[in-house]
Chains A and B, each alone.
Chain A
Amino acid sequence: DTAVSQTPKYLVTQMGNDKSIKCEQNLGHDTMYWYKQDSKKFLKIMFSYNNKELIINETVPNRFSPKSPDKAHLNLHINSLELGDSAVYFCASSQGPGTGVNGYTFGSGTRLTVV
């Protein structure tokens, strides 16, 4: 029973298209994140939601829009895709701020290739 699941696992699309990645966690965690891992393996945070509320919004182009319909789901929508958006996008969840339990559980990643 997968703890943090992302769909799709692979996504190949043309420049200018709009696409979405979905993430769901069944751990009962309060906080969810999106991280981007580039070709050099660098992991950089994009967004964080705590109980459906946006708490971290790093310097990310506004073509990227997260949505959290409930605390178990965090989706990422990307408009007008560019070549530089090609990367692996990881969803993660954690117990949340102030709980004293800080480890992240990552999803299996979505490899986005923009052609």
Chain B
Amino acid sequence: GENVEQHPSTLSVQEGDSAVIKCTYSDSASNYFPWYKQELGKRPQLIIDIRSNVGEKKDQRIAVTLNKTAKHFSLHITETQPEDSAVYFCAASRANFGNEKLTFGTGTRLTIIP
């Protein structure tokens, strides 16, 4: 089955700086890679996703890059703000294979230092 590794497990950055979280996956058939943000005591919420036919996707201050050959993808947050503090999860799945499930990484606790 799919195995998703995520690094780092904790990350502290100064407000205004950039944060980068990296994930690798094992199943070369995986083709859908979402990122979720989970604030303390809340549900995970989808913040951005990317499919395997795209190398990069941006949405305001967040961007995701995908390297299919190396089987890794990354989340980039620029101009970080205190409200970006949360646990971030990457995930991977074989979309459209009829038995899809998201396999999550182990999470990164991001702390923005004011």
Task: Knowing A42-B106, A43-B89, A98-B96 are in contact, say whether A106-B43 is a contact too (CB < 8 A).
Answer: yes
Task: Knowing A41-B107, A45-B102, A90-B43 are in contact, say whether A97-B89 is a contact too (CB < 8 A).
Answer: no
B71 within 8 A of A: no
Contacting A102 at CB < 8 Å: which of B38, B49, B106, B107? B49
* Inter-subunit contact A106/B98 (CB<8 Å): no
Cα separation A40 to B42 with both chains bound (whole Å)? 15
A-B CB pair tally, cutoff 8 Å: 59
Cα separation A60 to B25 with both chains bound (whole Å)? 23
A56 within 8 A of B: yes
Across the interface, name the chain B residue whose C-beta is closest to A4: B43
A103 within 8 A of B: yes
Bits for A67-103, please: 1 = Cβ < 8 Å to B, else 0: 0000000000000000000000010001001111011
* Inter-subunit contact A102/B34 (CB<8 Å): yes
Count class of interface residues, chain A = 20 to 34
Instruction: Please report which residues of chain B, range 5-58, place their CB below 8 angstroms from some CB of chain A when the two chains form the complex.
Output: 32, 34, 38, 42-46, 49
B100 within 8 A of A: yes
Most buried by B among A31, A41, A90: A41
Q: Which residues of A contact B100 (CB under 8 A)?
A: 31, 94, 97, 102
Bits for A11-50, please: 1 = Cβ < 8 Å to B, else 0: 0000000000000000000010100000011111100100
Across the interface, name the chain A residue whose C-beta is closest to B106: A42
* Inter-subunit contact B101/A56 (CB<8 Å): yes
* Inter-subunit contact B46/A104 (CB<8 Å): yes
Taking A42-B107, A98-B98 as known contacts, 19 extra A-B pairs with beta carbons closer than 8 A to each other, sorted by chain A number, are A33-B101, A41-B87, A41-B106, A43-B107, A45-B102, A56-B101, A90-B43, A97-B95, A97-B96, A97-B100, A98-B96, A102-B34, A102-B49, A103-B46, A103-B49, A104-B34, A104-B46, A106-B44, A109-B43
